[in-house]
Amino acid sequence: MPVYRPPLIPSSEITPRSVYLRRREFLGAAAGSALALQASGARAEKLTTVESTYRVDEPTTSREDITSYNNFYEFGLDKSDPARLSGDFKPRPWTVTVDGMVAKPGRFDLDALTKEFPIESRTYRMRCVEAWSMVIPWDGFPLAALLDKVEPLGSAKYVAFETIVRPEEMPGQKGLFQSLEWPYVEGLRLDEARHPLTLLAVGLYGETLPNQNGAPLRLVVPWKYGFKGIKSIVRISLTDTQPKTTWQSANAQEYGFYANVNPEVDHPRWSQASERRIGESGFFGSGRRKTLPFNGYADEVAGLYSGLDLRANY
């Protein structure tokens, strides 16, 4: 996500990179590299996964790129901050509460859920509202499986999601810079949430999620802009009113509830007609490609929006 407001703290008060690097040296080579490994997710555990038919006929983005170029404002505003500053975050043990308009609300242990639901490996095209994209091999289970378990009431129309608040482990939540309001919140219509493409991811490249990618549980909705993919989820609530999302609260003119990838509806400050594929801007090309309606998933999801004005409902 673009920084919609400049950091309010003078840059002179932010630890200069040279000092940060010296501090790492001070920690000693062994400790320093252990920290780096932890932050980049190398402590990840192998997952038992089943193959899925959801694949993309394009080269997969490297693990290195997927885990070092991230938006996760709880750890800072810069793309490199989440990998560098998420090493203290503890994604286990973890529970997720599912409540609201459901017959069987509950607080579920994540390890129990991943035993209950088979973990599929699915490769999805992902596209950020900032006009860059990746192809990511996620591991996870359909959100529909969890929703079925709690039995949504007939009156439920939307699903709201909440990220954990843990300032002692998330430096971006300490208020060092003015960015977003916490917790980060998102929402989907119930039919979008139940769509078979909508995934709750617990892994990447066959291993548990690195912290910077939203450990231990994050949403993946491949036909929407990346910011809908809320990370480190602790609560999922069913409701009959459209939830207001973090980015709508931050700037409603620029970010709507739907956020479907749409090359024909530009962001007020830049075009959405094309995108830069991360890792492809090498010798043989610019890595720039045309953005597809619904990010290439139109056959599967366009029907969800028949009759809806996609220009008004951005």
Ligand X SMILES: Nc1nc2c(c(=O)[nH]1)N[C@H]1C(S)=C(S)[C@@H](COP(=O)(O)O)O[C@H]1N2
* C-beta of residue 47 within 8 angstroms of C-beta of residue 139: yes
Place of tokens 């090493």: 87
Q: Is 173 exposed, middle or buried (0-12, 13-18, 19+ CB in 10 A)?
A: buried
Say which entry of ligand X, Mo ion, none residue 208 contacts (CB below 5 to 8 A, set by partner kind).
Answer: none
Rounded Cα–Cα distance for residues 74 and 92 (Å): 18
For 121, the token pair is 């490996």
CB of 70 to ligand X, least distance (A): 3
Of residues 89 and 141, the one with the C-beta less far from ligand X: 89
CB of 217 to ligand X, least distance (A): 11
CB of 274 to ligand X, least distance (A): 17
For 79, the token pair is 């793309």
Rounded Cα–Cα distance for residues 24 and 74 (Å): 22
Of residues 114 and 133, the one with the C-beta less far from Mo ion: 133
- Stretch of 36-44, 143-151, 228-236, 258-266 lying at the interface with ligand X (CB under 6 A): 228-236
Rounded Cα–Cα distance for residues 182 and 172 (Å): 10
Residue selected from 124, 138, 141, 184 as contacting ligand X according to rule CB under 6 A: 184
Q: How many residues does the chain have?
A: 314
Q: Does 128 bind Mo ion (CB under 5 A)?
A: yes
Of residues 195 and 218, the one with the C-beta less far from ligand X: 218
Q: Does 236 bind ligand X (CB under 6 A)?
A: no
* C-beta of residue 185 within 8 angstroms of C-beta of residue 162: yes
- Stretch of 27-35, 221-229, 251-259, 270-278 lying at the interface with ligand X (CB under 6 A): 221-229
Q: Which helix (H) or strand (E) segment is 304 a member of?
A: none
CB of 228 to ligand X, least distance (A): 7
Q: Residues interacting with ligand X, by CB under 6 A? A: 1, 70-74, 128, 163, 184, 213-214, 226-227, 229-232
Which residues contribute to the site for Mo ion (CB under 5 A)?
A: 1, 71, 128, 226-227
